[in-house]
Amino acid sequence: MITHSSRKVKEGKIVKVEVDCEDVIKKLKITGDFFLHPEDVLDDIEKTMVGLKKDVSFETLFLKIDDIVKNNDARMIGISPESIAEVLREALK
């Protein structure tokens, strides 16, 4: 089943999440008008979420995204690992 969630997050930009999920996340697409340097980090974030259980906690999502951002020395503008995790968690409901 494909579900969506989108929101203007507190850092100022729009985050939209489309997730294809049954028992586990099969596919995930994050879009929006934010900035992320380097840009390819978003692909890593999307790939890392695949396989996680539908009821994965916000904390786990946040820590995984935060890890990727830190490991890549990535800079987010208008979004944050926390905001992405929030919108994703909402899409998984």
Q: Residue 64 CB: number of other CB atoms within 10 A?
A: 17
Q: How far is the CB of 79 from other proteins (least distance, A)?
A: 9
Cβ 26 vs Cβ 93: under 8 Å: no
Considering only residues 54 through 93, tell me which ones interact with other proteins, judged by CB under 8 A.
75, 77-78
Q: Per rule CB under 8 A, is residue 53 in the interface with other proteins?
A: no
Q: Per rule CB under 8 A, is residue 34 in the interface with other proteins?
A: yes
Question: Is residue 1 packed enough to be buried (19+ CB in 10 Å), middle (13-18) or exposed (0-12)?
Answer: exposed
The DSSP bridge partners found for residue 24 are: 53
Q: Per rule CB under 8 A, is residue 30 in the interface with other proteins?
A: yes
How many binding residues for other proteins (CB under 8 A)?
A: 18
Please give the residue ranges that form the binding site for other proteins (CB under 8 A): 12, 14, 16, 29-39, 42, 75, 77-78
